[in-house]
Amino acid sequence: MSQANRTAPGGSPERLGAMQAARLLARREITAEQLTRACLDRIQAREPIIKAWTCVQADAAIERARQLDRGPIQGLLHGLTLGVKDLFDTADLPTTYGSPIYRGHRPKSDAASVALCRQAGAVILGKTVSTEFATFQPGPTRNPVNPDHTPGGSSSGSAAAVADYMSHLAFGTQTAGSIVRPAAFCGIVGYKPSFNHVTRAGVKSLSESLDTVGALARSVEDVALLVAALTHDRRLLDLDWQGTARIGLCRTPWWDAADPDAQAALESARIALSRAGATVSDASLPGSFAGLVDIQQEIMAFEAFQALSHERLTAAEQISPSLTALLQRGESITFQRHQENLANAELARRDMDMVFNGYDLLLTPGASGEAPRFEASTGDPLFCRSWTLLGLPCVQLPVTTGATGLPVGVQLVGRYAADPALLRIARWAEGRLAA
């Protein structure tokens, strides 16, 4: 069940869904300053435990909210609070990319997506914690459901801030599983749009073939709202779904890596959506799908070695052992091998596109189960790597809780560039899974 659906109208401002708050703001039934102060109060109360933020600009956020309250409705995000992942350049806030190499770094300009959100009326509260260059070395952020566990990575601070009602919206990025997995672990909604649908200008690059900017929020309509503001694709705001959804149940070749909680969540979703009228049947994947995890890992390593050339050549001692190992693997991959990987990925995209002739979307795990203990890892992106490589749009929905009471969800995967259809059915499914 998404957290937004547990929030009654008229509740505390920080607990309003973003779209719900936007409607109240448009009618002047609530002010941007009220929303902003409520979130800042929540941050003050909970940040010592959750550690979701690298910095918070309370005074600037309140002043921005007051300016918005004095003027006309500015755009789709007017008055809504936003957390910016510390992978995005910001002209008014430090940007460290999750690395000690960039401690105190102050970019001269905003990332394009940050600028677009300001233009649309968002109130930026601060920067949320990212893992090191969006890889696997964790930051200090804890899971708000149980602080003894990880919130996932790399969009760890963004997922935790949204899940803990510190912000209505937050940016995420995904190169392997860094939107879907933290959303799953924190029990919220994550949306990774189709590849190249959202500009990456001003976002620290890790892999040019994989990096994708997306959204974290507490409902499907909220993530759609943020991405609509970023893309100017107003089709994402029309979430009415009429018809019978054709859903392919996709356990993937790695089904044995899903723990009993993840397997039960997928089965629970299958039953609920079937009872609600969807046609759910087992999806057959093309043979080219089986090798995609290895291909994704090699592409990511090869391109990370290139993208982080300055850092590895000038500050290697400040790079973590896990990232050093990734870069060393990337160095060992030849250009010819990389070109073969890109070609094989393109062939798999064509094969997968044929699968969607029979389905509106695929229903699959988004994570292997509940969030691991904090000291263990940020989790395994196994169930996301292939979809990221294929560039397909993905939505993570909360479904249930696992054996220790932590959230477990499912992932909905759509056809490339069919984001509006995926979001419509995802919102329909969200209501049925929350029933």
pLDDT at 8: 34
Where are the alpha helices (H) located in 368-418, listed in sequence order? 382-390
Question: Is 204 an annotated catalytic residue?
Answer: no
Question: Is 51 an annotated catalytic residue?
Answer: no
pLDDT at 5: 38
> Which residues touch 366 (CB under 8 Å, ≥6 apart)?
177, 180, 181, 183, 184, 190, 383, 384, 394, 396, 409, 410, 411
Q: What is the pTM of this model?
A: 0.97
Number of helices and strands in the chain (H, E): 14, 11
pLDDT at 412: 98
pLDDT at 1: 41
Same-fold call for 3-237 versus 246-433: yes
Cα(316)–Cα(212) distance, rounded to whole angstroms? 26
CATH homologous superfamily of 246-433: Amidase signature (AS) domain (3.90.1300.10)
- CA angle (426, 178, 94) in 5-degree steps: 120
Q: Which of 154, 158, 167, 194 is catalytic?
A: 154
Residues (pLDDT < 50) of the chain are 1-9
Q: Which of 178, 194, 219, 386 is catalytic?
A: 178
Question: Is 2 an annotated catalytic residue?
Answer: no
User: What CATH number has the domain spanning 3-237?
Assistant: 3.90.1300.10
pLDDT at 434: 77
Residue spans of the domains in the chain: they are 3-237, 246-433
Q: Which of 225, 231, 185 is nearest to 17 (CA)?
A: 225
Alpha-carbon distances, residue 394 vs 2, 14, 365 (angstroms): 16, 26, 11
Radius of gyration of the chain, Cα coordinates, nearest whole angstrom: 20
